[in-house]
Amino acid sequence: MKEINTCLICGSTKIEPFLVCKDYTVSQKDFRIQRCVDCNFKFTSPRPEDADLGKYYKAEDYISHSDTKKGLVNKLYHGVRSYTLIKKLQLVIQHTKLKSGKILDYGAGTGAFLNTCKTNKWDALGIEPDETARKVMNDKFGITSFPSLEEARQNTSFSGFDAITAWHVLEHVPDLKETITSLKWALKDKGIFIVAVPNLESYDAKHYRQFWAAYDLPRHLWHFEPKAITKLFSDNGFKLEKTLPMVFDAFYVSMLSEKYKTGGTNLIKAFMRGLISNIKANKTGKEFSSQIYVFRKM
Ligand SMILES: [Zn+2]
């Protein structure tokens, strides 16, 4: 296990315990989240060594990496995903002001988003460590991908991106600052970097506390609030251009959290929690369960 003794965001060494959460999907073990006393940033520590992280992803119901369509909830998930894929591409088009260009999806999964880009005439490239997911991306969609940033950087096609996206990925990345620096290098000047991460300031996070599914320990290593993700990028030469809600996440996360908390499925209760979360967040505009941040390279 690896201890983190310095805050990634502000460099402070004043760290205190915040919360203990169980890994409900794979190991069923307890893990701890620590808090920076100076800037309030939260992170998983101690955490598995980088080389051991892979074994915490081996679960049937870790659906983001598979294409299974069993059951009502999965059907809903895939339905919502088709809708949001188009919305994501529209966001890229709106902020790059390009109808087609060159895009990199970091943590591309099975390539569903990149396929949406590709069918809309974008030159699409992926990075994805999971070999099974990468095979789907290649066989089903014919999209080129690399298993890591290191391998991608050795390829001449890996530069001059108009846009880079990372949908619910950065919270999984151990060497986060180095990764952002490398990705920035591959991005054109004034290019955009779109990031989606869960939001610790959301109502559902506060309501479900240690049962909040978006803590997802130990797979999530960093736990962001809007202030922390904004500072991480502004310190790296990016400017925040826009923040957007991901309204479906409140329902999905509440459904899982309800299951962790009570041991059973309660779709109506979860739906109500998701609804309350979105209604509350709508008032402040910055407390959605998960949020999208559009950054521009300066
Ligand atoms: Zn800090």
Residue-wise pLDDT tens digits, 80-109: 878 889 999 999 999 999 999 999 999 999
Residue 235 CA to ligand 1 center (angstroms) comes to 13
| Count of CB atoms situated within 10 Å of the CB of 234 | 13
Reading phi first (left if > 0) and then psi (alpha if -120 to 50, else beta), residue 6 is in beta
> Running DSSP on this structure, what letter comes out for residue 192?
E
- What is the average per-residue pLDDT within 175-182? 96
Q: What pLDDT is stored for residue 73 in this prediction?
A: 74
Residue 62 — very low, low, confident or very high, per pLDDT cuts 50/70/90? low
Strands (DSSP E) found in 209-289: 222-223, 238-245
pLDDT tens digits along 220-251:
999 999 999 999 999 999 999 999 999 999 99
* CA distance linking residue 92 with residue 147, whole number of Å: 24
Q: How far is the CA of 256 from the centre of ligand 1 (A)?
A: 29
Angle between helix axes 267-284 and 247-262 (nearest 10 degrees) is 140
CA angle 126, 198, 228 (to 5 degrees): 95
pLDDT tens-digit series, residues 266-284: 899 999 999 999 999 999 8
Q: Is 50's pLDDT higher than 70?
A: yes
Residue type at position 165 = T
* Statement: residue 69 has pLDDT above 80: no
Residue 105 Cα, ligand 1 centroid: separation in angstroms? 28
- pLDDT over 90 at 65, yes or no: no
Helix, strand, or coil here: 121? coil
- Measured in Å, residue 71 CA sits from the centre of ligand 1 at 42
Nearest in space to 220 (alpha carbons), one of 59, 66, 45: 45
Residue (of 249, 130, 154) closest to 199 by Cα position: 249
Query: Ligand 1 center to residue 13 CA distance, Å?
Result: 8
pLDDT greater at residue 73 or residue 100? 100
Q: How far is the CA of 228 from the centre of ligand 1 (A)?
A: 9
Look at residue 71 in the predicted model and tell me its pLDDT: 76
Q: How far is the CA of 31 from the centre of ligand 1 (A)?
A: 20
Q: Say how many residues make up the chain.
A: 298
Q: Above pLDDT 90, what percent of the chain?
A: 86
5: CA distance to ligand 1 center in Å?
11
**Distance between Cα 42 and ligand 1 center (Å):** 8
* pTM summary value: 0.92
By DSSP bridging, strand 222-223 and strand 42-44 are: antiparallel
**How far, in Å, is the centroid of ligand 1 from the Cα of 41?**
5
Cα-to-centroid distance, 296 and ligand 1 (Å):
23
Q: Is it the case that residue 176 has pLDDT exceeding 80? A: yes
Contact indicator for 36, 10 with CB cutoff of 8 Å:
yes
Query: Over pLDDT 70: what percentage of the chain?
Result: 96
Please state, in angstroms and rounded to a whole number, the distance separating the CA atoms of residues 45 and 252: 26
pLDDT for 286: 87
Q: In the beta sheet, which residues pair with residue 32?
A: 20
CA 148–ligand 1 middle distance (angstroms): 28
φ, ψ (nearest 5 deg) of residue 104: -120, 130
Tokens of 73: 């909830």
Q: How far is the CA of 14 from the centre of ligand 1 (A)?
A: 8
16 C-alpha to center of ligand 1: Å? 11
Positive or negative: CA dihedral 277, 280, 282, 288: negative
Residue 6 CA to ligand 1 center (angstroms) comes to 8
Surface-to-core class of residue 71, CB atoms within 10 Å of its CB (0-12 exposed, 13-18 middle, 19+ buried) = exposed
Do residues 200 and 260 touch, judged by C-beta distance below 8 A? no
Ligand 1 centroid from CA 7, angstroms: 5
Query: What confidence tier does 68 reach under pLDDT thresholds 50, 70, 90?
Result: low
